[in-house]
């Protein structure tokens, strides 16, 4: 924030950074080689709906805005316990999951809703269960960075696995360096 | 991004804030000239005022946390509070401040700390118990805006004028007493000096009052600015408005001695902002509920328009 903004007490809304999203497909190969993990076939886009966004009043409106067929049952919408909207995409292929999340992001930005985007979450599961347990890779929209999230219970996470994932993927992905930003997403609706 | 750029600035608010700041700077100039007229005490005044401001600046977070009976909490202790702050900070792309809870029952929240990297954001137990999650989020967004706007630093600097003026009036008072007793020889000359120094005292007190009023005015503008940024961050001005109504409505129902306790704490600090950028508009450091609700209603209209 500049000096003028400080003096006048203003904050600029943060714009999302979508550039690094596609790096995920390369990282998925590493993830499978190192940890035997594959996509769970689900990805989610998390955003906060504001007032006055008349285009977002119904679920069908949102799907249409995000260039999805309103009747497409592979896309679902839910609201989490903190009031954030989740757009969940189902697709067995990781590359098309990434493409669809990116398309949804882009159309949010085109409609001036970029500041409302929080993160995108991609689910990963062990190819041969039980393996390492479930893992999510979270893409922080404003920061343009990834971090791993491995919940093992209602409010427990496997930090050891998360740190291992970071070391495996740090060459493929821009990983979030500030660990305090590795926010916990309990009850994340993406499996 | 037509919708967002339209709501990001309120020019009237900017202009008022600018002139308040300008008036404070002008006061600094007057004070400096008064200090020069006093001569000897110049160095002393600067040293004392500097030391006071410095300690206030550096211990502000500890003082505020201590007086509000607040303690820092970990994500394990307060998962929901942390989750809300996490998400707001990521949405706004700002560093996450430390999170604290005050065991007070009065529904309130405050932010303290020098800069966004060393900030603490704190909610009272009463606030967390009374407000629904969405409104708690709105209140925290308001406090995070104070952090982003560096309001603690700004209000500390602004209130420095008041401290300086107070010190000058005191030193001038000593000077007048001392000068009156010591110069018995030339009767007329002594009287003139006493009159001159009495005038300085009166002037200093006037300056102190004006500085105090201006600081209060500046504080109110900063509150409005934080309301605005907070409402834009959560995207729903109406939710912040309803949180304000809830907090002030609850405040009115709390027994008087509790309120007096909080008020006393507020007066303990030089800068109202240090006592916490409180949400409730009970003190004159805050604009009236009506003014704040009007601004939020207007913002809501802009968002819908």
DSSP for B73-90? --TTTSHHHHHHHHHHHH
Taking only residues 223 to 282 of chain B, the set having a beta carbon closer than 8 angstroms to any beta carbon of chain A reads: 225-226, 229, 232-238
Is residue B255 over pLDDT 90?
Answer: no
Tens of pLDDT, residues B113-145:
777 788 899 998 888 988 899 999 999 999 999
Closest CA to B208 of B247, B246, B252, B173: B173
**Per-residue confidence band for A138, with pLDDT thresholds at 50, 70 and 90:** very high
Tens of pLDDT, residues A34-85:
888 999 999 999 998 877 655 565 666 677 666 666 566 678 888 888 889 8
Is residue A179 over pLDDT 80?
Answer: yes
- DSSP type of residue A181: G
Among A152-161, A173-182, B17-26, B296-305, name the one with the lowest average pLDDT. Answer: B17-26
**3-class state of residue B194 by DSSP:** helix
pLDDT given at position A180: 86
Closest to B4 (Cβ–Cβ): which among A8, A112, A184? A112
pLDDT given at position B283: 40
Closest to A49 (Cβ–Cβ): which among B76, B90, B235? B235
Q: Would an 8 Å CB–CB cutoff place B133 in contact with chain A? A: yes
Q: Would an 8 Å CB–CB cutoff place B91 in contact with chain A? A: yes
Mean pLDDT, residues B186-215 taken together: 72
Tens of pLDDT, residues B213-251:
788 788 888 888 999 999 999 988 999 998 888 887 655
pLDDT given at position B305: 65
Tens of pLDDT, residues A121-136:
999 998 887 777 889 9
Whole-number average pLDDT of chain A: 84
Q: Would an 8 Å CB–CB cutoff place B72 in contact with chain A? A: no
A112 and B134: CB-CB below 8 Å?
Answer: no
Mean pLDDT, residues A177-187 taken together: 88
Distance, in Å, from the CA atom of B294 to the CA atom of B228, rounded to the nearest integer, reads: 11
Tens of pLDDT, residues B41-65:
666 666 766 776 677 667 767 777 8
pLDDT given at position A13: 81
pLDDT given at position B277: 43
Question: Would you list the domain boundaries of chain B?
Answer: 2-304
Cβ contact B135:B243 at 8 Å: yes
Q: Would an 8 Å CB–CB cutoff place A128 in contact with chain B? A: no
Is residue B281 over pLDDT 80?
Answer: no
Distance, in Å, from the CA atom of A172 to the CA atom of A27, rounded to the nearest integer, reads: 5
Q: Would an 8 Å CB–CB cutoff place A13 in contact with chain B? A: yes
- Does the complex come out with an ipTM higher than 0.95? no
pLDDT given at position B45: 65
pLDDT given at position B175: 62
A82 and B303: CB-CB below 8 Å?
Answer: no
Closest CA to B117 of B85, B150, B69: B150
Is residue A1 over pLDDT 60?
Answer: no
- Chain A residues with CB under 8 Å of B133 CB are 81-83
Cβ contact B131:A83 at 8 Å: no
Is residue B99 over pLDDT 90?
Answer: yes
pLDDT given at position A55: 52
pLDDT given at position A148: 94
Is residue B148 over pLDDT 60?
Answer: yes
**Residue % of chain B over a pLDDT of 90:** 15
**CA-based nearest distance A41→chain B, Å:** 25
Enter the tokens of residue A174.
Answer: 């821009």
Mean pLDDT, residues A142-166 taken together: 90
pLDDT given at position A176: 92
Enter the tokens of residue B230.
Answer: 């907070």
A170/B155: higher pLDDT = A170
Consecutive H or E run containing B19: helix B11-38
Closest CA to B140 of B156, B155, B124, B118: B124
Closest to A10 (Cβ–Cβ): which among B93, B225, B237? B225
**Residue % of chain B over a pLDDT of 70:** 61
Distance, in Å, from the CA atom of B13 to the CA atom of B220, rounded to the nearest integer, reads: 11
pLDDT given at position B251: 53
- Chain B residues with CB under 8 Å of A48 CB are 87, 91, 234-235
Q: Write down the pTM of the prediction.
A: 0.78
Domains and CATH numbers, chain A: 15-181 (3.30.70)
Consecutive H or E run containing A136: strand A135-140
Q: Would an 8 Å CB–CB cutoff place B83 in contact with chain A? A: yes
**Per-residue confidence band for A174, with pLDDT thresholds at 50, 70 and 90:** very high
Is residue B204 over pLDDT 80?
Answer: no
- Kind of pairing, strands B70-72 and A135-140? unpaired
Is residue B20 over pLDDT 70?
Answer: no
Is residue B36 over pLDDT 90?
Answer: no
Mean pLDDT, residues A81-97 taken together: 89
**Per-residue confidence band for B108, with pLDDT thresholds at 50, 70 and 90:** confident
**CA-based nearest distance B212→chain A, Å:** 19
pLDDT given at position A71: 61
Please identify every residue of B annotated as catalytic. Answer: 143
Mean pLDDT, residues B86-103 taken together: 91
pLDDT given at position B249: 65
Whole-number average pLDDT of chain B: 73
Is residue B151 over pLDDT 60?
Answer: yes
């Amino acid at each position: 924030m500049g000096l003028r903004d400080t003096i006048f007490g203003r904050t600029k809304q943060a714009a999302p950074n979508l550039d690094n999203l596609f790096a995920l497909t390369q990282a998925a190969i590493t993830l499978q080689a190192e940890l035997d993990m594959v996509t769970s076939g689900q990805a989610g886009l998390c955003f906060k709906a504001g007032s006055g966004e008349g285009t977002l009043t119904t679920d069908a409106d949102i799907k249409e805005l995000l260039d999805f067929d309103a009747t497409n049952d592979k896309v679902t919408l839910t609201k989490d316990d903190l009031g954030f909207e989740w757009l969940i995409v189902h697709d067995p292929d990781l590359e098309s999951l990434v493409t669809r999340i990116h398309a949804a992001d882009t159309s949010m930005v085109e409609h001036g809703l970029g500041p409302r985007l929080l993160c995108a979450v991609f689910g990963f599961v062990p190819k041969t269960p039980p393996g390492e347990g479930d893992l999510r890779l979270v893409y922080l929209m404003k920061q343009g960075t990834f971090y791993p999230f491995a919940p093992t219970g209602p409010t427990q996470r496997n930090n050891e696995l998360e740190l291992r994932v970071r070391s495996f993927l740090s060459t493929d992905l821009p990983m979030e360096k500030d660990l305090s930003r590795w926010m916990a997403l309990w009850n994340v609706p993406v499996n | 991004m037509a919708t967002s750029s339209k709501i990001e600035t309120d020019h009237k608010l900017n202009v008022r804030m600018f002139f308040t700041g300008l008036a404070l700077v002008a006061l600094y100039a007057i004070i400096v000239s008064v200090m020069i007229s006093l001569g000897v005490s110049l160095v002393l005044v600067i040293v004392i005022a500097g030391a006071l401001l410095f300690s206030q600046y550096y211990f502000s977070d500890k003082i505020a946390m201590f007086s509000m009976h607040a303690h820092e909490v970990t994500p394990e202790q307060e998962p929901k509070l942390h989750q809300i702050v996490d998400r707001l900070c990521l949405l706004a792309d700002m560093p996450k401040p430390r999170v604290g809870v005050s065991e007070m029952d009065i529904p309130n929240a405050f932010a303290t700390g020098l800069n966004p990297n060393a900030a603490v954001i704190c909610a009272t137990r009463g606030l967390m118990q009374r407000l629904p999650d969405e409104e708690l989020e709105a209140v925290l967004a308001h406090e995070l805006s104070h952090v982003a706007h560096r309001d603690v630093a700004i209000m500390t600097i602004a209130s420095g004028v008041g401290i300086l003026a107070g010190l000058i009036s005191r030193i001038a008072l000593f000077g007048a007493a001392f000068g009156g007793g010591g110069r018995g020889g030339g009767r007329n000359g002594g009287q003139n000096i006493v009159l001159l120094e009495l005038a300085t005292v009166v002037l200093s007190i006037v300056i102190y009052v004006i500085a105090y009023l201006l600081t209060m005015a500046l504080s109110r503008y900063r509150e409005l600015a934080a309301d605005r940024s907070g409402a834009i961050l959560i995207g729903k001005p109406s939710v912040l408005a309803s949180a304000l109504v809830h907090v002030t409505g609850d405040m009115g129902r709390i027994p008087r001695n509790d309120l007096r306790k909080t008020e006393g704490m507020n007066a303990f600090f030089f800068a109202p902002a240090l006592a916490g950028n409180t949400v409730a508009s009970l003190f004159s450091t805050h604009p009236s509920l009506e003014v704040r609700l009007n601004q939020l209603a207007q913002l809501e209209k802009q968002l819908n328009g």
